[in-house]
């Protein structure tokens, strides 16, 4: 059924640190790499070697310039955007076929592509643009939170994390159970005042974003002159020209 | 939102069909309409024909039309599924009404009850269609209290124009119907006017700041996440009609409301060929108008995902 579970045993999700994300797109690239052979495979592309390539990606990294008034310095924010595995996942309830579902055991939102009719309504219902339509297969695809990695007993325990988390060179992505207050991700959210995206719309996303830390407005005092002035010649030919012309 | 041709055809065509079906059911049960089998046959044929064309066209934009039958399974949570169920169930009383009208030339008694049940189900189907859009909080221009009245009044209005033209063609003068047409056009006009005012003067609570969880006075895209348009931008970033919204609204006001209103008044006051021509032209004008209106309904809808692609509000 596309009704949502009353409660989920866990709330598996991501915590993304906007302070440390360097915008390298490694998470998006490794996501594509893993998932094109994983649970949702394949992630097809249209015109991949042409001028305007287009295809299914579960993770997109935006960069924004944030102006914060005169007293606060501006920021460049790199912003990875993927499925937030919402508690009130409207993408699930709007699904007319039962292809979309939210798992009661861990809260992961998935699509059964064998049941999907490709009506695209779930992508309209997602405020974050997490779902992307596969033109080749005629079905909707989305982030699985690497369900085929996190429970994969053939991998070493430390590798049982989503591909995007493992690959992040800046350590900006964290995976864990956000329903457990003692988990690393919950502690991060508490310490750094993690925020949900568009909370006013009421979807209760599981993933949380850590806002950039406060920046220092003034430069440190290292004893340098506040201002340097151009040197004018005091004697000699150039000085004579300067004096003559200044008269 | 990208205005898919199949969805525009579906919502306008089935809307008019269900409107006509509902009015035939109610006025038929009330004994106002001719019991003549040819009138019943043509009216119900047009109504159910429009509904069927709409339902079939709605499957054209599916990635897997052959799985469309699955869409009736999730009526507990999904308005799209409820719409599918209601659309199919409506055929039962509508078919029974047809049997009474065409074979027995009667629209009262049991057949009248079927007409009223059919009318109720037809309106519930239109409500379910509207609720698909009304329930999407991602799109402020849809998730407001004017979406549902807009769909209902336009369904009744286009159905009434069809019924009026049909009565004129059959040279019947059910003045109650012709009078109701005028009322329906005015009502739909008011609702659409208020809707357009509402979306012009209000916007979604979501902002670029809340979209990226960073507070800022001004947030502008610096580097795009991909270097050519993706599914999200094609499906939800449609701007062609939005650019011409004022002109298209004017065309819509003129062809959907002003012309049909004037022509319906003419049909109401005149009779014979003049009245018939007026009523038929009113239908043609409204077809153009409702297509433009529905195009705008999609094109003017701004999905919150646009906040990630440079929109300052949605």
CA distance A154 to chain B (A): 33
Find the residue in A nearest to B222 (Cα). Answer: A64
> Residue A1: what pLDDT?
59
In tens, the pLDDT along A26-63 reads: 999 999 999 999 999 999 999 999 999 999 999 999 99
Q: What's the mean pLDDT in B164-184?
A: 91
Peptide bond into A42 cis (omega under 30): yes
B77 interface with A at CB cutoff 8 Å = yes
**Mean predicted confidence (pLDDT) in B46-57:** 96
Instruction: Return the bridge partners of B221, or none.
Output: A64
Mean pLDDT is lowest, of A66-75, A214-223, B7-16, for A214-223
Asked if this assembly's ipTM is beyond 0.95, the reply is no
Question: pLDDT tens for residues A113-133?
Answer: 999 999 999 999 999 999 999
CA–CA distance, B128 with B116 (Å, rounded to integer):
18
Supply the CATH classification number for the domain B5-214+230-309.
1.20.1630.10
Q: Is the pLDDT of residue B239 over 80?
A: no
B130, B151 contact by CB (below 8 A): yes
Q: How many CB pairs under 8 A join A and B?
A: 207
Chain B from 134 to 163: CB within 8 A of any A CB: 135-139
Give residue B245's pLDDT: 85
Q: How far is B129 from chain A (nearest CA, A)?
A: 12
Are B193 and B48 a contacting pair, CB within 8 Å? no
Contact A51 B72 (CB under 8 A): no
pLDDT tens digit string along A182-231? 999 999 999 999 999 999 999 999 999 999 998 877 777 888 887 888 77
How confident is residue B241, by pLDDT bands cut at 50, 70 and 90?
A: low
DSSP code per residue over chain A: --SPPS--S--EEEEEETTT-----HHHHHHHHHHTTSTT----EESTTSSS-EE--SEEEEEEEEE-TTTSPPEEEEEEEE----TT-HHHHT-SSS-EEE-TTT--EEE-TTT-----HHHHH-TT---EEETTTTEEE----SHHHHT-TTS-GGG-S-HHHHH-TT--EEEEETT-TTSHHHHHHHHHT-B-SSGGG----S-EEEPPPPPPSSPP--S--S--------SSHHHHHHHHHH-
Query: Which sequence spans correspond to the domains of chain B?
Result: 5-214+230-309
- The Cα of A214 is separated from the nearest Cα of chain B by a number of Å equal to 12
Asked whether the predicted pLDDT for residue A235 surpasses 70, the reply is yes
Q: What is the pLDDT of residues B127-160, one digit of tens each?
A: 999 999 999 999 999 999 999 999 999 999 999 9
Give residue B54's pLDDT. 94
For residues B50-73, give the mean pLDDT. 93
What are the boundaries of each domain within chain A?
12-210
pLDDT of residue A227: 80
Does residue B11 belong to the interface with chain A, where contact is any CB pair within 8 Å?
no
Q: Which of B111, B114, B112, B52 is nearest to B87 (CA)?
A: B52
- pLDDT-based confidence at B302, cuts 50/70/90? very high
Give the model's pLDDT for residue B123. 98
In angstroms, the separation between the Cα of residue B49 and the nearest Cα of chain A is 23
Q: Does A71 have pLDDT greater than 70?
A: yes
Nearest chain B residue to A5, by CA: B77
Q: Which residues pair with A177 in a beta bridge?
A: A12
B71 to chain A, any CB pair closer than 8 A? The answer is yes
Q: What average pLDDT does this structure show over A79-87?
A: 97
Q: Which fold has domain A12-210?
A: Alpha-Beta Plaits (3.30.70)
Residues of B (101-130) whose Cβ lies below 8 Å from A: none
| B112 closest CA partner among B24, B19, B18 | B24
Q: Quick count: other Cβ atoms within 10 Å of Cβ A37?
A: 11
């Amino acid at each position: 059924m596309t009704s949502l579970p009353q409660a989920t045993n866990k709330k598996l999700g991501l915590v993304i640190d906007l302070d440390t994300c360097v915008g390298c797109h490694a998470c998006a690239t490794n996501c594509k790499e893993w998932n094109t052979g994983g649970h949702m495979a394949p992630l097809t592309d249209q015109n991949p070697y042409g001028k305007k390539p287009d295809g299914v990606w579960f993770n997109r990294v935006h960069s924004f310039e944030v102006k914060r008034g005169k007293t606060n310095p501006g920021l460049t924010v790199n912003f990875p955007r993927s499925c937030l595995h919402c508690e009130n996942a409207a993408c699930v309830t709007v699904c007319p076929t039962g292809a979309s579902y939210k798992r009661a055991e861990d809260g992961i939102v998935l699509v059964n592509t064998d049941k999907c009719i490709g009506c695209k309504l779930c992508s309209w219902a997602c405020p974050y643009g997490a779902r992307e339509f596969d033109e080749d297969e005629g079905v909707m695809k989305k982030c699985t939170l690497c369900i085929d990695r996190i429970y994969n007993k053939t991998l070493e325990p430390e590798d049982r994390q989503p591909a995007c988390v493992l690959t992040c060179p800046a350590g900006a992505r964290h995976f864990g159970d956000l329903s457990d207050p003692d988990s690393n991700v919950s502690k991060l959210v508490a310490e750094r005042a993690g925020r949900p995206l568009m909370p006013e719309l009421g979807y209760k996303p599981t993933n949380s974003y850590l806002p950039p830390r406060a920046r220092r407005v003034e430069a440190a005092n290292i004893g340098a002159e506040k201002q340097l002035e151009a040197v004018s010649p005091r004697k000699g030919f150039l000085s004579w020209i300067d004096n003559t012309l200044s008269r | 939102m990208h205005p898919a041709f199949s969805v525009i055809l579906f919502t306008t065509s089935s809307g008019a069909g269900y409107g006509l079906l509902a009015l035939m059911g109610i006025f038929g049960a009330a004994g106002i309409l001719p019991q003549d089998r040819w009138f019943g046959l043509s009216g119900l044929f047009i109504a159910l024909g429009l509904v069927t064309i709409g339902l079939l066209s709605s499957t054209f934009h599916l990635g897997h039309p052959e799985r469309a039958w699955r869409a009736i399974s999730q009526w507990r949570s999904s308005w799209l599924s409820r719409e599918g169920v209601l659309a199919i169930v409506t055929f039962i009383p509508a078919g029974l009404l047809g049997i009474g009208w065409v074979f027995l030339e009667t629209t009262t008694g049991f057949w009248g009850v079927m007409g009223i049940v059919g009318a109720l189900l037809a309106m519930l189907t239109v409500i379910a269609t509207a609720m698909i859009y009304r329930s999407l909080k991602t799109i402020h221009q849809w998730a407001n209290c004017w979406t549902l009245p807009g769909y209902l009044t336009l369904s009744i209005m286009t159905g009434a124009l069809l019924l009026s033209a049909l009565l004129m063609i059959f040279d019947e003068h059910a003045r109650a119907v012709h009078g109701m047409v005028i009322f329906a056009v005015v009502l739909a006009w008011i609702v659409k006017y208020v809707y357009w005012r509402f979306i012009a003067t209000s916007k979604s609570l979501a902002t670029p700041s809340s979209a990226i969880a960073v507070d800022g006075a001004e947030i502008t895209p610096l580097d795009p996440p991909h270097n050519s348009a993706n599914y999200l931008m094609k499906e939800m970033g449609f701007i062609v009609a939005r650019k011409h919204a004022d002109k298209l609204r004017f065309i819509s006001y003129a062809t959907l409301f002003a012309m049909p209103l004037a022509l319906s008044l003419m049909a109401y006051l005149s009779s014979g060929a003049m009245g018939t021509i007026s009523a038929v032209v009113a239908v043609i004008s409204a077809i153009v108008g409702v297509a433009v209106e529905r195009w705008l309904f999609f094109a003017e809808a701004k999905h919150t995902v646009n906040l990630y692609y440079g929109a300052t509000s949605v």
